């Protein structure tokens, strides 16, 4: 579905992404791991149109999407979530979800004037959709809570919920498990698996929790210093000498072991 070819993203003289090529197959939950500073988020940012690449190419189903802005990619069904959740804190959880779909009549003032009834109907449909999403994510009890009051993990679920308000094809999740307790992490993992199986979402998931990666992802791609180091099944990846070396180099050996003992 997504093919990244020889991608570079430099910041001044620093090569954050240094000739990375990856493929994300349709229907997969692909894991992207690697030590801190490996270039994972930068790679996501380039794919998702947040940052232009220095060079290289990104295609989606064969179509060149390199450098397209996020809203164009959104309409093609390519969505991303951020390493730090971006919620509208003073709005309720339901309202946060209702903000997502674009192209509603309510966006144009003249529509608001001439077509109030249609807008009311659209809003009801959106609210119903939001409630359905919240139920799917098992946080329907939080619908009327201000998003700013959610825990870190609940905010991550809300981010995932946003991708369900539209017909997403491929979703990029950046550290969806960071700072999330085990129970919520399982909820997030279950939601990802169900979205993949029941709704055909393709995922690419950055995560440091190796348990989570091992349970969800096939294949797993490992990045280090801006380059792709390895790709394979989670078990194989964790036996791979070059991968262990890369993690050892940054003192993350224990993190890897803890995740897959
Ligand atoms: N806007 C920027 N300007 C300069 N350097 C940057 C910028 N964004 C990222 N970098 C650098 O690029 C490198 C890769 O960063 P990136 O955030 O992609 O790593 P990561 O693999 O996502 O790490 P982590 O696991 O810690 O989130 C880091 O050394 C970072 O400091
Ligand atoms: Mg990152």
Ligand 1 centre from 156 Cα, in Å?
21
* Mutational pocket test of ligand 1: of 20, 34, 38, the residue with most ligand atoms within 8 Å of the beta carbon: 38
Beta bridge partners of 122: none
Ligand 2 centre from 76 Cα, in Å?
24
Q: Mean of the per-residue pLDDT values for the chain?
A: 88
Spell out the domains of the chain, with CATH numbers in brackets.
2-87+154-257 (3.40.50.300), 91-149 (no CATH)
Minimum CA distance residue for ligand 1 atom 10: 16
C-alpha 162/C-alpha 49 separation (Å) is 18
Low-confidence spans in the chain with pLDDT less than 50:
103-106, 253, 261
Minimum CA distance residue for ligand 1 atom 8: 42
Q: What is the pLDDT of residues 183-220, one digit of tens each?
A: 889 999 999 999 999 999 999 999 999 899 999 999 99
In angstroms, the Cα distances linking 40 to 17, 32, 217, 232 are 8, 7, 16, 17
Q: What is the pLDDT of residues 135-151, one digit of tens each?
A: 999 999 999 999 999 98
Ligand 2 centre from 43 Cα, in Å?
9
Ligand 1 centre from 250 Cα, in Å?
15
Beta bridge partners of 9: 17
**Nearest ligand (C-alpha, residue 81):** 2
**Nearest ligand (C-alpha, residue 18):** 1
C-alpha 107/C-alpha 212 separation (Å) is 39
């Amino acid at each position: 579905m997504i093919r990244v070819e020889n991608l570079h993203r430099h910041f001044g003289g620093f090569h954050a992404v240094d000739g990375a090529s990856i493929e994300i197959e349709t229907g997969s939950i692909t894991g992207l791991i690697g030590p801190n500073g490996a270039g994972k988020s930068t790679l996501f940012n380039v794919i998702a149109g947040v940052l232009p690449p220095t060079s290289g190419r990104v295609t989606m189903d064969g179509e060149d999407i390199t450098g397209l802005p996020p809203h164009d990619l959104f309409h093609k069904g390519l969505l991303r979530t951020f390493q730090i959740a971006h919620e509208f804190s003073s709005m309720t959880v339901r309202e946060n979800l209702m903000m997502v779909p674009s192209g509603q009549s309510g966006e144009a003032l003249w529509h608001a004037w001439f077509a109030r009834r249609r807008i009311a109907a659209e809003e009801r449909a959106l609210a119903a959709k939001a409630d359905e999403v919240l139920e799917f994510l098992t946080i329907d009890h939080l619908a009327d809570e201000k998003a700013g009051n959610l825990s870190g993990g609940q905010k991550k679920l809300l981010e995932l919920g946003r991708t369900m308000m539209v017909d997403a094809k491929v979703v990029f999740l950046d550290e969806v498990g960071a700072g999330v307790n085990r129970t919520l992490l399982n909820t997030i993992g279950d939601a990802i698996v169900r979205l993949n199986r029941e709704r055909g979402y393709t995922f690419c998931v950055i995560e440091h929790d190796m348990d989570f990666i091992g349970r969800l992802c096939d294949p797993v791609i490992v990045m280090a210093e801006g380059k792709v180091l390895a790709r394979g099944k989670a078990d194989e990846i964790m036996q791979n000498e070059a991968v262990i070396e890369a993690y050892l180099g940054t003192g993350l050996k224990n993190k890897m072991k803890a995740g897959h003992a």
